[in-house]
């Protein structure tokens, strides 16, 4: 009788197989796993949750509406990728724009590739697959690389192998995160290019960075003109007196490690020689900010 039930489930297709509690698949070794994992399956949109590890934070509404219109006419051409969480419950790994656009036009199901992965593997897959996208801005790519360093503990060499980019290319993206947040936002919004940003990284003083940024916007400077402006600026600066680098005390280093583990992010700390300092807690999306806020409120 049990065998007949399984044959019947297979006859209804892969989607029906996944909705049969007797055929629940949780690992690659389970019966019928080879029929599901790596294959395209129609999944109910209600059974899929958004990936909290999603490195992408900007979803342009007009662009989503255009994609939704295309999906209405042609369907979802490229399946999304999900990982199985529990019985008939899945989490997005990649394809959130297609997922959001499908919900926007009221679709009930979407084609998907199913993977079985733990949280760390899911984060790495989401980050690496998103880095390959053509429509990410330079700061989003830089943040994805930084998360691979902070949360997966990948070296730049390992990242180079994962994403198929030269190590020097990865380093250039990461350097963009040294720019003032105002400039990073300008780059994300398309006011300046990555070339402008790479040039401004050579300016140490944030106020000088902002001043150059404003000149770029006002005068519509090219990358080459920006590089010359920065070269002139640096030649006018007085030489800095040599000073011994201040070493962060051990008790603060150990405390920062505890903070990082608690909040799930690498916590940045700056300490002056007098002992005062500043702690910075980064976040990568609205969902991530809400998660950190709950952690803080829980301890009140």
Residues labelled as active-site residues: 96
Q: Residue 130 and residue 122: Cα distance in Å, rounded?
A: 12
Q: Which residues pair with 83 in a beta bridge?
A: 91, 115
Residue (of 190, 188, 191) closest to 58 by Cα position: 188
| Alpha carbons 244 and 140: distance in angstroms, whole number | 35
Residue 153 buriedness (CB in 10 A; 0-12 / 13-18 / 19+): exposed
Residues 6 or more apart whose CB falls under 8 angstroms from that of 87 comprise 21, 24
How far does CA 111 lie from the centroid of its chain? 23
Measured CA to CA, the distance from residue 46 to residue 88 in angstroms comes to 10
**Distance between CA 79 and CA 102 in Å, rounded?**
12
In the structure encoding, which two tokens stand for residue 168, read together? 């020097």
**Length of the chain in terms of residues written:** 300
CA-nearest of 44, 59, 110 to 80 is 110
- DSSP code at position 241: P
């Amino acid at each position: 009788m049990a065998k007949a039930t399984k044959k019947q489930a297979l006859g209804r297709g892969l989607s029906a197989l996944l909705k049969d509690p007797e055929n629940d698949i949780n690992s690659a070794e389970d019966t019928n796993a080879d029929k599901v994992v790596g294959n395209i399956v129609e999944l109910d949109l209600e059974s899929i949750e958004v990936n909290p590890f999603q490195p992408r934070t900007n979803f342009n509404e007009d662009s989503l509406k255009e994609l939704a219109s295309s999906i209405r006419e042609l369907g979802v051409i490229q399946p999304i990728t999900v990982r199985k969480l529990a019985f008939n419950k899945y989490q997005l790994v990649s394809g959130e724009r297609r997922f959001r656009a499908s919900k926007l036009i009221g679709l009930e199901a979407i084609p998907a590739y199913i993977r079985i992965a733990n949280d760390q593997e899911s984060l790495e897959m989401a980050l690496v697959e998103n880095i390959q996208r053509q429509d990410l801005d330079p700061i989003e790519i830089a943040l994805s690389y930084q998360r691979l360093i902070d949360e997966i503990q990948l070296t730049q060499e390992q990242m180079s192998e994962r994403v198929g980019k030269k190590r020097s290319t990865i380093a250039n993206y990461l350097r963009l995160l040294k720019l003032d947040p105002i400039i990073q936002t300008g780059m994300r919004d398309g006011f300046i290019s990555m070339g402008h940003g790479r040039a401004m990284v050579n300016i140490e003083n944030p106020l000088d960075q902002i001043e150059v940024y404003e000149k770029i916007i006002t005068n519509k400077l090219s990358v080459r003109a920006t590089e010359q402006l920065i070269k002139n600026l640096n030649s006018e600066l007085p030489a800095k007196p040599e000073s011994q680098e201040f070493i962060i005390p051990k008790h603060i280093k150990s405390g920062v490690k505890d903070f990082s583990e608690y909040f799930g992010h690498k916590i940045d700390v700056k300490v002056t020689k007098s002992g005062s300092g500043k702690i910075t807690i980064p976040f990568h999306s609205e969902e991530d900010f809400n998660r950190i806020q709950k952690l803080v409120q829980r301890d009140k």
